[in-house]
């Protein structure tokens, strides 16, 4: 996995890119249960959760979300507005809210959370999406989130990618919120890799002129059809 900062005028966002080189299709690939960023008994877990909601996401009318944590922290969401339009929002924090929150609770650092947050750079981008594209993405997210299982045992020679966490969320038709994480070897499976290709295209929609959007909308829908639902 590599991390690339992408510029969209004044807005800077980050795209997670997973190489397909040497990728192998695997039967039974699936998302894994969401592990809390911190133990639930840690004093800063609730604070961090509230900060993520406030700083990286868009409120209660969201349909799907994508949360990325590594050197930067990204919240991507698609929201249905009151006027019926579908809005893509991408927000980035650097350094991460995870880093700021944990250090604010370390007594020897004597950080003040409110002051520490002033050191975080926040960037934001928006774009409207057509209903067909959103319907395709939401359906794809739900199909993946309907098969969340613990990861298989890791062999001694297995190389894990550490320091990157990607969480998908979607609202099912009954309003239930589904969540799951990409496994460390998501690049080995076509359907899971398609998630990252869609993410990259959504970032492209934010940074490219409107004239290029139709091509990206169509490409997202083709990717999902190719991945198979």
What's residue 8's pLDDT? 38
| pLDDT tens for the chain, residues 1 to 229 | 333 444 433 333 444 443 333 334 444 679 999 987 766 667 788 889 999 999 999 888 999 999 999 989 999 999 999 899 999 999 999 999 988 988 887 765 677 888 889 989 999 999 999 999 999 999 999 999 999 999 876 655 444 444 689 999 999 988 899 999 999 888 889 999 999 999 999 999 999 999 999 999 999 999 999 997 5
Phi, then psi, of 136 in degrees rounded to 5? -65, -45
Cα four-point dihedral sign 107, 113, 114, 117: positive
Tell me if 78 sits within 8 A of 64, measured CB to CB.
Answer: yes
Report the C-alpha gap between 183 and 197 in whole angstroms.
16
What's residue 201's pLDDT? 97
Residue with tokens 């209903």: 131
What's residue 145's pLDDT? 97
Phi, then psi, of 177 in degrees rounded to 5? -90, 125
What's residue 154's pLDDT? 60
What's residue 218's pLDDT? 98
Q: Which residues of 130-164 are buried (b: 16+ CB within 10 A; e: fewer)?
A: eeebbebbbebbbebbeebeeeeeeeeeeeeeeeb
What's residue 15's pLDDT? 40
What's residue 229's pLDDT? 52
Report the C-alpha gap between 94 and 5 in whole angstroms.
11
């Amino acid at each position: 996995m590599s991390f690339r900062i992408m510029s969209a005028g004044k807005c800077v966002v980050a795209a997670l890119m997973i190489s397909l080189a040497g990728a192998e299709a695997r039967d039974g690939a699936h998302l894994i249960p969401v592990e809390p960023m911190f133990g639930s008994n840690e004093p800063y877990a609730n604070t961090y959760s509230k900060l993520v909601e406030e700083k990286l996401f868009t409120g209660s009318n969201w349909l799907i979300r994508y949360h990325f944590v590594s050197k930067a922290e990204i919240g991507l969401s698609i929201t249905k507005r009151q006027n019926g339009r579908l809005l893509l929002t991408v927000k980035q924090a650097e350094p991460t809210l995870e880093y700021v929150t944990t250090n604010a609770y370390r007594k020897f650092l004597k950080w003040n959370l409110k002051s520490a947050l002033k050191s975080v750079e926040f960037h934001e981008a928006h774009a409207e999406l057509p209903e067909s594209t959103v319907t395709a993405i939401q359906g794809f997210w739900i199909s993946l989130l309907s098969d969340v299982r613990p990861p298989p045992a890791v062999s001694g020679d297995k190389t894990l990618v550490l320091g990157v966490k990607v969480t998908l969320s979607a609202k099912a038709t009954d309003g239930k919120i589904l969540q799951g994480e990409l496994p460390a070897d998501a690049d080995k499976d076509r359907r899971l890799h398609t998630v990252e290709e869609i993410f990259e295209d959504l970032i492209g929609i934010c940074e490219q002129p409107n004239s290029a959007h139709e091509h990206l909308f169509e490409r997202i829908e083709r990717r999902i059809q190719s991945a198979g639902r």
